[in-house]
Structure 1
Amino acid sequence: MAQSGLASFLAVLKAFGDVPSPGLMSFPKPGITLALDFPIKPNKSFPLFERLADMVNDFGGRLYPAKDAAMTAAQFQTFYPQWEQLARFRDPIITSSFWERCTGDKSTL
């Protein structure tokens, strides 16, 4: 982060227990989560986000889709391989920019 020249203006650290979540796409898993908020500066922010996502993946973590505005399709599909199972339940009339960005599925009736 220091090399990027950006600083997080908000950081939240949480600990999750080891109770399994029954949800198909639940974010929590045992361990610690760190949420960082950054200003958007396209030439600096997005390369930093890519590097941080790679680090999260390298350490066996995952990004939180509901809080991440820069998650790529490759990242989403790596962190949540069960997304295709969820897609079978999707109403084809309903879509979102997140779904289209992270799955490439732009089909609507």
Structure 2
Amino acid sequence: MPHWNRVYGRGGFVQYQFVVGEGREETLRRIVRRLSDRRCPSFLAVLKRFGPADPGWLSFPAPGWTLAVDIPASLPGLGPFLDELDEEVAAAGGRVYLAKDARLRPDLLAAMYPRLDDFRALRAELDPRGVFMSDLARRLDR
């Protein structure tokens, strides 16, 4: 379909994706309910069940459920609303997908990625001057 992206308006969209572990389905239901109660339009939503986690220190998948939703970026109050969802996800032991993230607060990163210190130590050993650093790392490395 040509020009599919126009459905989100001039502001474009934010894709919000998170995972919560098995036994944390109530968090998933609560977040879906909150999106619905807020009348948060999403023209694309993908729900998947994940199997075993990858041993990578910053790997996103974990056994449980992941939900990705496209939300118009122009939705009033979207940033604070997603911050609240991030807090729920972190409290449930879940995480947001860093490859699609542009707004996670740095204080939630370690709660979502428990092997973060291992990753940072290896990065410091291999690149002590911090030559190779992404915008994501600069934003979240506080």
TM-score interval, smaller chain: 0.7 to 0.9
Q: Is the 8 A contact 1:4 1:48 kept in 2?
A: no
Letter in 1 for 2:77: K
Alignment of 1:46-65 (within 5 A): 46-65=79-98
Q: 3-state DSSP class of the match of 2:139? A: helix
1:71 maps to what in 2?
104
* Divergent runs of 4+, >6 A: none
Separation of aligned partners in 2, 1:47 and 1:3: 16
Matching of residue 8 in structure 1 with residue 42 in structure 2: yes
Separation of aligned partners in 2, 1:9 and 1:70: 21
* Larger relative contact order, structure 1 or 2 (CA cutoff 8 Å, min sep 6): 2
Matching of residue 39 in structure 1 with residue 56 in structure 2: no
Q: State the 1:80 CA deviation.
A: 1.0
Q: State the 1:103 CA deviation.
A: 1.3
Q: State the 1:36 CA deviation.
A: 1.4
1:107 maps to what in 2?
none
Q: Is the 8 A contact 1:24 1:82 kept in 2?
A: yes
Q: 3-state DSSP class of the match of 2:93? A: coil
Gaps of 5+ in 1: 105-109
Separation of aligned partners in 1, 2:138 and 2:75: 21
2:116 maps to what in 1?
83
Separation of aligned partners in 2, 1:10 and 1:44: 20
Q: Would you tell me which structure has more strand in proportion to its own residues?
A: 2
1:102 maps to what in 2?
140
Q: State the 1:96 CA deviation.
A: 1.6
With structure 2 as the length reference, what TM-score do the two structures score?
A: 0.63
Q: State the 1:6 CA deviation.
A: 3.1
Alignment of 1:7-26 (within 5 A): 7-17=41-51, 19-26=52-59
Separation of aligned partners in 1, 2:75 and 2:131: 32
